[in-house]
Structure 1
Amino acid sequence: MGVHGLWRFMTSQRALIKKYYLHDTKLVIDANNLYYFIQLESGISNEYRGDYHVFADKVKSFFGLLRKCGISPYLVFNGCQQLDQKLNQNIYKAYRNIHAVQKITKGKNAKLVPELGFETFKHIIVEIGIPFVVDDFNVKKNIAMLANEWKCPVLSSDSDFFMFCIEGGFVFLEQMNFPIKTIQNERTGKTITSLYCNFYDFKNFTKMFPGLDITMLPLLRGVSSWRDDDQQRLFANFLDNLEQAPADFGIKITATEKCSITLSLLYWLKNQRSVSEAIGNVTQFIANEERDRAIKIMQDTVNCYKELESSFNMKKYFETGQFEFSVNATNMLKANGNPLPQWFLKSSNRGNVARFCLEVLHQQSLVLYSQVENLEWESSHACSRHIRQVIYGILILHDMDKLPASKQSVEEYDRNGINIEKCEVKPILN
């Protein structure tokens, strides 16, 4: 999701970011982030909906670099979104896709991933033998937890990882072709091949801002999300009234005008004694009729960093291939509140269940993203609606008698012209 301005601020601080020679280590990779990075930042042309052979070569080349440096990658994919957590963001993304299609159909450049790109990515990593797992939810915390268990770094370009205490560090995914450097081991004299990369250690952050509780950083995401226009409007008055950080705030800070809002947020956060106090102070700037919604957004944001855990032991799965399900973890529930069976979760965690099936089972809604098409015509997803209805029927029709009448359909969000509209789609079995 990301915090507005946080990536720019963190990467501009020389005291925080160090050059690092990465080699001979495990590396936990934010797989969804890597997929989008390769698709959108490596020069692949997608105006005709996917040069899949070029994409495959880019993926194989990337993992080839890691192999040269003795780096063992472990990919963790996002699973289902938490209930209602990202519906607005997914709708925002659908609008952004429409705008990209408008540009592409006019001969302009725009970033848009192809419809089958994600499945292609999974197929390639299976082909070249890269271990991966699909988490239950979209929880960055589990990536950080796995890295800490192995005492190894995380690779991503998501600013969310600045909010975790990752003992092995956070390596920035900034380029496809990381420079390869050879260094000499001072003790053995052996020549070592390594990736030369930018590296963040949270301990440098605590030195730069003594007294600031790093575990409260998730609050920044609650009040300063850059992907949700409605959320930006909700917290605009709070942000407009932030006290500017004093000149002596922090140690060895490279201050710029573009980073002033981030510094002011960090200064404000340093003066909060607890999460509940901080939430109460924010709501003073929110209209009465919207305070409950603002409180829920902030609480949900904080909770998604500390409460949800994977239903299984991810480390044990990677090391043995065996699932060990946790009794206390937050399991994925169906829309009627019943847990999904373990045989289904195992198949999902192995990547054998399409993500849209998880969304339908968990929250009975699905956002459909536009392809390159004539926007004056009906959405291209309309031709497969009957097929989706049958899939919905297989997934949830047997639970319908346990749901209220208002919940006996799947909410589809699809393009109508250049707008996104909701449609109630009835599950069927024929």
Structure 2
Amino acid sequence: MGIQGLARFIDDHGAILTDDQFRNSKLVIDGTYLYHFLYFNSSVDQQHGGDYDDFEDQVCKFFKALRDCGIEPYVIIHGGSDFSDKKFETQLHHVQSRINTANSLSKGLRGSGLLPILIKQVFKQVLSSLKVPFAQCIFEADQEIASLAERWNCPVLSNNSDFYIFDIQAGYLPFSHFKWQNASTQRGSSQRYIPCKRYTTTSFCRYFNINRQLLPVFAAIAGNDYVNLNKMETWIRVAFFNRLLDWLARFQEQQEALDSVPSLIGHGKNNMDSALQALSLSIETYQLQPGCLERFFIKDKAPDPSHLPDHLSVLPDWTLLPLMKGTLSSSIIHILQLRPVIQGVQVEDPSLPSGNNTSRPIRQVVFGLLLGERREVEEYDREGINLTSSMVKAILPTAAPHAVRLEVFLETLGVSQSTLNGIPPHLGLPVAVTYYWLRHAHLRPDRPFLQALLLGLVYGELCRQRKSQRGMDQNMNGNTHTGTHNLECINKVSEVQPMTPLFFVYQGL
């Protein structure tokens, strides 16, 4: 979750960060922070369900800048998560905040920080199109990212202040100082580089005169419940960091510092044992362990099931590789662990039921396939503008023995095979889902809404066809002219004979 205020504290001590001309190197990228950063720093629309086209352009431009500089990216997307009660409570607080933001946006008021609900899926699709190696990490991702970077002797690109603590020899590149849009050419050569600032634990520890083994102790104390940096004024937080670092400078070993924590915190004996235990657990999260990502990227293999932590032992072997490739949603991890599932937040009329209610029957079938019948999953979703939870029953569908997967799919959506006759195979899913949506949505969509959706589907298909003809190289080479491209697609809408069956699929609804 990061350490509140640490990034600013380090920025204010400018000598810790060193200027760097980054080029010709592997780079391990925190993918979750990357798609947040690219979406919110490109002034894209947040009120109308997601500006995915502009977002795709930003992603393409970013990776083109890297490749122009000889940088070999490896993207890690968060999939698993810490299942502690503390982090879950924090997560619920963030979700309620997003509901409040969505409510403001739905009324035309200002708001920021709301990602569209399909952004992660779109991000993975664009990475696949660009042939950028990526993994969806089924463990807590920070430790895996740091472990891979240390193994490959390359830096990490992120905006997570936890990477100020991991002892990565090649360092950490904060997004806020990574000027990828200002790539430059070295004097006297054609070599391009990205101006940035690089952080290393060596520079931090030298500046504050502490042993690098004590950095995890610093992070554990600063992130402890007894400290609660979130409620501190900035100047108090800075004073606290300075005092804590001065105190740590007295010690050489972690255990020596931990033995002296009671005198620093000053809480009663009854709470001290639990506080020390929490500190020890927190320190362990910053210890680099052999990870599974190198095996995945080099050998295309999932983690050895026998090496999975206890809380992931519920995952069937066949799910591991699809989860890491991102072809299976990471939400199945929570479902199989019987943990609560939090539904996405989107801009919609808060006086109406959540749009997620429409897909609940589909989720019930997914729960049934994963858990069997007579099980329930706790779901969190909005009711009005409040986050509430409810228990959702799992339903196991019946299906004929032959073509089981297709039968389950069609039965779940209530669509017959004949409904999809004449539809291009790769459009079967969007058409079937739209058919399902029309029958289950509240309020029922009117005809102009449906026509607009179908026109968008046809437009998207034509754009896809033209883009595949050109190849993604034009995006990578910076030759894409979005306005001209869109106009060409619009002009092609009159040539939609192959798509005509789409307009007749929904007759009789």
Query: Which bracket does the TM-score occupy, shorter chain normalised?
Result: 0.7 to 0.9
1:277 counterpart residue number:
259
Partner of 1:405: none
Counterpart check, 1:422 vs 2:389: yes
CA offsets per residue over residues 154-185 of structure 1, 9 Å max, x none?
1111101000111111112126744212114x
Checking the alignment, whether the CA contact within 8 Å between 2:180 and 2:195 is kept in structure 1 is: no
Name the amino acid aligned to 1:182: T
Per-residue CA deviation, residues 13-61 of structure 1 (Å, 9 max, x unaligned), is 2221111000111101011111111122221111112011000000000
2:14 match: secondary structure: coil
Q: Is the 8 A contact 2:80 2:141 kept in 1?
A: no
Query: 1:316 and 2:318 equivalent?
Result: no
The answer for the alignment partner of 2:91 in structure 1 is 90
Counterpart in the other structure of 1:102: 103
Q: Kindly state the Cα deviation for residue 105 of structure 1 after the two structures are TM-superposed.
A: 2.2
- C-alpha contact (below 8 Å) 1:139/1:305 kept by paired residues: no
Cα distance change on mapping 1:208 and 1:102 into 2, 3 Å: same
CA contact (8 A) 1:139 1:308 kept: no
Following superposition of structure 1 onto structure 2, how do residues 21-100 of structure 1 map, counting pairs within 5 Å?
A: 21-84=21-84, 86-100=87-101
Letter in 1 for 2:205: T
Query: Whole-Å Cα distance in 1 between the matches of residues 388 and 158 of structure 2?
Result: 33
Q: Distance in 2 between matches of 1:415 and 1:223?
A: 35
How many Å separate the matches in 2 of 1:61 and 1:269?
Answer: 44
> Where does structure 2 lack aligned partners over 5 or more consecutive residues?
398-509
What amino acid maps onto 2:243 in structure 1? S
The one-letter code sitting in structure 1 at the alignment partner of 2:393 is: K
Structure-2 residue corresponding to 1:306: 287
Instruction: Pick closer, same or farther for the CA change 1:418–1:17 going to 2, 3 Å.
Output: same
Tell me: CA distance 1:362–1:197, structure 2 relative to 1, closer, same or farther (3 Å).
same
Over aligned residue pairs, what C-alpha RMSD do you find? 2.9
Q: What residue is the counterpart of 1:353 in the other structure?
A: 328
Q: What is the 5 A alignment of 1:331-350?
A: 331=309, 333=311, 338-350=313-325
Moved more, 80-89 or 23-32: 80-89
Change (3 A) 1:42 1:259: farther
Do the aligned partners of 2:378 and 2:391 also contact (CA within 8 Å) in 1?
A: yes
Q: Partner amino acid for 1:98?
A: I
Q: TM-score, normalised by structure 1?
A: 0.81
Matched, 1:265 2:264: no
Higher relative contact order (CA 8 A, sep 6+): 1
Question: Which position in structure 2 is the counterpart of 1:228?
Answer: none
Structure 2 counterpart of 1:103, one-letter code: S
Correspondence for 2:212? 214
Structure 1 residues 394 and 281, CA gap change in structure 2 (3 angstroms) = farther
SS of corresponding position for 1:65? helix
When residues 274 and 126 of structure 1 are mapped into structure 2, their CA distance, relative to the original with a 3 A threshold, is same
Q: Which amino acid in the other structure matches residue 59 of structure 2?
A: V
Structure 2 CA distance for aligned equivalents of residues 52 and 44 of structure 1 = 9
1:246-257 equivalences in 2 (<5 Å): none
TM-score (norm 2): 0.69
Which residue in 1 is equivalent to 2:476? none
Alpha-carbon distance between aligned partners in 2 of 1:429 and 1:192, rounded to the nearest angstrom = 59
Amino acid corresponding to residue 197 of structure 1 in structure 2? C
* Cα displacement (A) at 1:322: 3.7
Q: Note if contact 2:16-2:203 (Cα within 8 Å) is conserved in structure 1.
A: yes
Q: 1:339 to 1:429 in 2, by over 3 A?
A: closer
**Partner residue of 1:135?**
137
Shift of 1:286: 6.1
Deviations 1:88-119 (A, max 9, x none): 12101111101211321232132200011110
| Residue type of the alignment partner of 1:305 | Y
* 1:361-383 deviation digits (Å, cap 9, x = unpaired): 23421122321112233222222
Change (3 A) 1:391 1:326: closer
Displacement after TM superposition at 1:138 (Å): 2.0
Q: Which moved more, 1:4-13 or 1:214-223?
A: 214-223
Number of residue pairs the alignment of both structures matches: 389
Cα 1:148–1:183, aligned 2, differ >3 Å: closer, same or farther? Answer: same
Inter-partner Cα distance in structure 1 for 2:96 and 2:67: 39
Instruction: Write the letter of the residue equivalent to 1:417.
Output: G
Shift in alpha-carbon separation, 1:121–1:103, aligned structure 2, 3 A:
same
Structure 1: runs of 5 or more not aligned: 226-230, 241-254, 401-407
| Aligned counterpart, 1:244 | none
For residues 214-242 of structure 1, the C-alpha deviation after alignment (integer angstroms, 9 at most, x for no partner) is: 344344554544xxxxx75x5459x99xx
State the one-letter code of the partner of 2:12.
S
Deviations 1:368-419 (A, max 9, x none): 2321112233222222222212111111227x7xxxxxxx422212212222
What is the alpha-carbon distance in structure 2 between the residues aligned to residue 65 and residue 308 of structure 1?
32
For 1:37 and 1:57, the matched residues in 2 are separated by 14
The aligned residue for residue 381 of structure 1 is 356
